[in-house]
Amino acid sequence: MSRKREVILDQDEDIVAYEHHLPGRMVRVMVGFGTILPDGEFKAAEEQNYENFIIQGVGYDNLMAATETKPAGVFRKEDLWQFVDLGRANVVAEREKIMQEKIKKEAIAAAIAKTELELEEANKNVKS
């Protein structure tokens, strides 16, 4: 059975791995949670599920485009964070959309049930 996950809000995160697939024109990014040590090194938590993101299509083109701080055709690890944030925002938006659709279906079902009860009552009154 599923359950809600308890999230520790003060946990640090880092991009622990990324893979640039040139023929497929995509970048796969793996984000891990853990602790940033005093020397700046990131220590991933031993037990965790890593978040994976794939940057492709328009996102890949944007990642590989030239900016004020880098030439076209290259990227840095820190350039990947905006796509991680966008991926997370998309997941939140999709979950919200699913929840709104569920609420709408429940409201419609409740309205139908109410109408059926009212019709049933009206039919009883007509027969009486």
Q: In 3D, which of 13, 91, 19 has the Cα closest to residue 55?
A: 19
As for how many domains the chain has, the answer is 1
2 lies in some domain? no
Q: Which two tokens stand for residue 37?
A: 């040590």
Give me the pLDDT at residue 9, please: 58
Give me the pLDDT at residue 44, please: 86
21 lies in some domain? yes
67 lies in some domain? yes
66 lies in some domain? yes
Give me the pLDDT at residue 38, please: 92
Give me the pLDDT at residue 66, please: 96
Per the structure, the complete domain to which residue 29 belongs is given by 12-127
DSSP code, position 21: E
Residues paired with 53 in a beta bridge: 29
112 lies in some domain? yes
Tens-binned pLDDT, residue by residue, of the chain (128 aa): 788 877 665 589 999 999 999 999 999 999 999 889 999 999 888 888 899 999 999 999 999 999 999 999 999 999 999 999 999 999 889 999 999 999 999 999 999 999 988 888 888 877 76
54: left (phi over 0), alpha (psi -120 to 50) or beta: beta
